[in-house]
Amino acid sequence: MVEVNGRLTASCVTKASEGMHVNTHTEKLIKYRKMLMELMFAERNHICAICVMNGHCELQAMAAHLGMDSVRYDYLNPDLPMDASHKRYVLDHNRCILCTRCVRVCNEVEGAHTWDVMGRGIVSQIVADLNFAWGNSPSCTSCGKCVQVCPTGALFEQGMTVAEMEKKHDFLPWILGGREKHEWNW
pLDDT at 163: 59
Write the pLDDT tens digit of every residue in 35-57: 999 999 999 888 888 777 888 88
What is the structure's pLDDT at 90? Answer: 94
Domain boundary among 49, 77, 105: 77
Do 40 and 131 reside in the same domain of the chain? no
Q: Is the pLDDT of residue 185 over 50?
A: no
- Read off the pLDDT of residues 96-143 as tens digits, 9 standing for 90 and up: 999 999 999 999 999 999 999 999 988 899 999 999 999 999 999 999
Q: In which band, very low, low, confident or very high, does the pLDDT at 24 lie, cut at 50, 70 and 90?
A: very high
32 shares its domain with 69 = yes
Angle of CA points 151, 152, 156, to nearest 5°: 95
Q: Are residues 88 and 129 both part of a single domain?
A: yes
Q: Long-range contacts: 44-51, Cβ < 8 Å, 24+?
A: 44/76, 44/77, 44/78, 44/80, 44/94, 44/95, 44/96, 44/97, 45/75, 45/77, 45/94, 45/95, 46/95, 46/97, 46/152, 47/75, 51/95, 51/153
Question: How many domains, in total, are found in the chain?
Answer: 2
Same domain, 13 and 71: yes
**CA count, 13 A, side-chain hemisphere, 77:** 3
The answer to whether residues 65 and 148 belong to one domain is no
Q: Give the domain range for residue 55.
A: 1-77
